[in-house]
Structure 1
Amino acid sequence: MDVVGYAEAAAGLLNADLADADALIDFLEGREWLHRQIVDKDIPALRKFQTQLRPVFEAAENDDPQGTVNGLNALMERHPITPRIFEHAPGKLQLHVANKASTVSDLIISESLLGLANLVCDLGAARLGICSAAKCDRVYVDTSPNRSRRYCSDRCSSRANVAAYRARQRAAATG
C-alpha cells in the first residue's frame, strides 16, 4: 500500500474535473481494471467528496492543523475505511482499503482518506496546500524533504517565477 501515493492521488482527485464517466476513466489512468466497475453513482459521490475534502486543504493552507485533523476525522466518520488483506499470489499478501463489493468511488475515497490521514500523522498538516500561483486554486501534497512546495505543478511554478522576474525587471527599469 502506497499511502503517500494515495495522498497525492487525493490532491489529484480534488483537482480533477469529473464531468462524466469518461473524465473518471481519465483520472483512473493506469488503473484500467477499475474502468469496467464504474457505476452511475460514482460520479456524484466523488463530486460530493471533492466538496467535502476541499476544506481540509483550506485549513492546512490557513495554518490550522486542528481544522485539518478535525476535517479528516469527520470525513473518515462519514466514509468508513474497511481495510482488507488480499492474497494476490500464494504467500503474497497486500493490504487494500476496501473490499471487493465496494464501488469505485468507495475505493477512491477510502484511499484518499487513508493516504491523507497517514501523511498528516507522519509529516504534519502543513504538507497539504493550495497553489500560490495567481489565478490557480488547485491543491497539492508536499512531500519535499524541507517542506518547500508552494505550487501545484511545475507549470504554475514557472509562470510565477517568470512573472516575478518580469516585475523585478520593470521595477529596476523605473527605479
Structure 2
Amino acid sequence: MVRYAEGAASLVNADLGDRDRLAAHLGGREWLSERCSDRDAFLLRKLQRELRPVFDTAAAGDGEGVVRALNGLLEQYPVTPRISGHDEHLHLHVGSTAEGVADLLVGEALLGLATLVCDLGPRRLGVCSAKGCRNVFVDISPNASRRYCSDRCSSRANVAAYRARQRAGSPA
C-alpha cells in the first residue's frame, strides 16, 4: 500500500494537462497508459485539487483534519479492493482492469493514503520545505524526519543554508 500512497503524492505533483501527459506520467504501466483518455486526465486533475488539502493539512500538523479529509474522499469515491495472486504472492489491488484509468488511480491513491495514515500516522504526509517548491511527499523514513520532496530540493536547501551561514560569518 505504500506504493499506492506514493502514487497519490506523485499524482498530486504531476502535470496532467492532457491524455499525453497522463500517459507519460504512467510511464512503466503500459497497459494503463495505452487506455488513458482526456476524460481520465480531467478527472485526475480534479483529484489533484481534492488531495492537495490532505497533504497541506498533514503538513500543518492537523492529524484529525487529515482523517476527516480522507474519510470524505473515501465516501465520495468508494474503493473496491480485491485480492490478487498474479505474481505468486497474495496482495491487494484496487478495482479491476475493466475500470477506467482514472477510477483505478483514484482507488489506488485513496486506499494507499488511508492505509498509510492508519499504519504510520498522518504526519507521514508532507509538503516540501524547499523555498519555491510545493510538491508533496510520503515519508516512509524510519524516524519520520523527511522535509523535502526529493534529494534535489534537499541539496538546494542545504547549499543555500550553508551559503547563508558563510555570508553571516564573513567580515563586511
* TM-score, reference length from structure 2: 0.94
1:28-107 matched pairs, under 5 angstroms: 28-86=26-84, 88=86, 93-107=90-104
Paired residue for 1:24, among 19, 22, 38? 22
Question: Is 1:39–1:103's contact at 8 Å kept on the other side of the alignment?
Answer: no
How far off is 1:83 after superposition? 1.4
Q: Distance in 1 between matches of 2:25 and 2:74?
A: 22
Q: Distance in 2 between matches of 1:87 and 1:147?
A: 32
How far off is 1:132 after superposition? 0.3
Q: Distance in 1 between matches of 2:171 and 2:13?
A: 39
Q: Distance in 2 between matches of 1:124 and 1:6?
A: 16
Q: Distance in 1 between matches of 2:77 and 2:171?
A: 56
How far off is 1:86 after superposition? 4.1
What is the CA deviation profile of residues 36-83 of structure 1, one whole-angstrom value per residue up to 9, with x for unaligned ones?
221331011000000000110011000000110001000111111011
Runs of 4+ in 1 over 6 A off after TM superposition: none
Q: Distance in 2 between matches of 1:50 and 1:57?
A: 11
- 3-state SS of the aligned residue for 1:52? helix
Q: Which runs of 5+ in 1 are unaligned?
A: none
Matched length:
172
Show the counterpart of 1:143: 140
Q: Distance in 2 between matches of 1:9 and 1:71?
A: 18
The residue type paired with residue 64 of structure 1 is D
How far off is 1:172 after superposition? 0.4
Computed over aligned residues only, the root mean square deviation of the Cα atoms, in angstroms, reads 1.5
Show the counterpart of 2:128: 131
Question: Is 2:24–2:33's contact at 8 Å kept on the other side of the alignment?
Answer: no
Question: Is 1:88–1:94's contact at 8 Å kept on the other side of the alignment?
Answer: no
Q: Which runs of 5+ in 2 are unaligned?
A: none
How far off is 1:35 after superposition? 1.7
